[in-house]
Amino acid sequence: MVTEVIDDLDDGVNRLVEAMTAAGPGRTVALGGAGMSTESGIPDYRGPTGRANPATPMTVQDFLGSDQARQRYWARSFIGWRRIASARPNRGHFAVAQLERGGWLDHVITQNVDGLHQQAGAERVEELHGGLNRVICMSCRTVSPRDALDRRLQAANLHISPGSVADDVIKPDGDVDIDDGVIDSFQVVDCAACGSGPLKPDVIFFGENVPPERVSFCYSLVERSKLLVVLGSSLTVASGFRFVRRAADRGIPIVIANQGPTRGDPYATTKIELPLGQLLEAAGAELADAGDAERLGSGRGGLECSLGTVGRA
C-alpha cells in the first residue's frame, strides 16, 4: 500500500533504481500507457493533454455496424494517421529500450498503439491493444501494413489533400476532426487479399476484448516477474489494470510512475509523480553506470520466454 507520493527527481530515481536492483536482472516487467507518449506529442485520454481535447473513440459495435461508420472512421484516420506515423520516440522510450538491452527489463506490456517503444529499439514489447501500423481484414483475417493501405487510400481519394482539411489537434488513436463534406466524399477501400472484406486497424477498439492468449501471455510475464513498474497509465481501462491486480495478488511489488492519480494507487508499493522522460533517462543512466545486468548476475538466461511472443490476432 502506497504511503507517500515521490515528486523529487533524486528520490524518484533512487526509489526506481533500488526497486529494480532488488528485483534483480531481467525480473522487472513494465506496463505502459498513453503517458509514455505525451512527450512525443501524442495526447493521452485522462491526463492534461487528453482533458484539453476530449476524445470519444468509436466502439467496435459502431465500426462494424455500418458502412457510414467505417467511412467516417477511415476518412478521419486517413488524415490523422500521418500525424501518428510522424511521431518519434522520446527519451523515455529510449531509456526503456536501453533498460531492456542492459538486461534489466524482461518485457514491456504496452497499452499504446503507436509503436514508439519498438521504434526506440525495444524488442520485447507486447502490444496489448495491437498497433496502428497494421490493418486486419474482418473477413479473411489477413493482416497487412498500414502504409500499403495508406497508398491505396491516397490513390482512391486524390480529391482530398491531407494537409488542408484538418485542424492541428490529433486525438490519441489517430483521429482528427474534419468536415462532414470530406467524410461524405471519402472512398473507403476493402481488403486487397480477398477483394471484399472490410478493413479495421489491428487495434482493440473500445467494446472489444483482447485475445485471450495475449492476456494469458501478459499474466505469465507478470507472474514470473519480481517487480511491476507502471509507466504513464491511469489504469482506468480494466484491460491494463488487471495486471496490477494480479501482481498485488502474488505479492509482487508495484512501482507506479505516473503524474496524477491511478486506479492502481491502493496497490502500489511506491508512487512516483515525475515526467517520465526525465525519470526514466536518469534511472537508466544510473543502472547503466552500475554495470549492465548481465555482468551483475544471472541475466535473463533462464527467463527467456518459453511461450514465445503471442501472435497477433
Ligand X SMILES: NC(=O)c1ccc[n+]([C@@H]2O[C@H](COP(=O)([O-])OP(=O)(O)OC[C@H]3O[C@@H](n4cnc5c(N)ncnc54)[C@H](O)[C@@H]3O)[C@@H](O)[C@H]2O)c1
For 178, phi and psi rounded to 5 degrees?
-135, 165
212 Cβ neighbours under 8 A, 6+ residues apart: none
Shorter beta-carbon distance to ligand X: residue 39 or 208? 39
Q: Please report which helix (H) or strand (E) contains residue 64, including its range.
A: helix 60-65
Using rule CB under 6 A, residue 298 touches ligand X: no
Neighbours of 6 (CB within 10 A): 21
Q: Is 42 in the site for ligand X (CB under 6 A)?
A: yes
Q: How far is the CB of 172 from ligand X (least distance, A)?
A: 3
194 binds Zn ion (CB under 5 A): yes
Q: Does 19 bind ligand X (CB under 6 A)?
A: no
Site for ligand X in 155-194 (CB under 6 A): 172
Among 12, 26, 72, 114, binds ligand X (CB under 6 A): 114
In the complex, the smallest distance separating the C-beta of residue 175 from ligand X, rounded to whole angstroms, is 11
**Of 7, 8, 12, 6, nearest to 284 (Cα)?**
12
Should residue 200 be labelled a site residue for ligand X when binding is judged by CB under 6 A? no
Q: Could you tell me if residue 108 is left (phi over 0), alpha (psi between -120 and 50 degrees) or otherwise beta?
A: beta
Amino acid at 292: D
| Neighbouring-strand partners of residue 232 | none
Helix (H, G, I), strand (E, B) or coil at 71: helix
Q: Looking only at residues 131 through 150 of this chain, which bind Zn ion when binding is defined by CB under 5 A? A: 137, 139-140
Q: Is 201 a binder of ligand X (CB under 6 A)? A: no
Catalytic residues: 129
Interface residues with ligand X (CB under 6 A) are 33-35, 37-39, 42, 44-47, 50, 111-114, 129, 172, 232-237, 258-260, 275-276
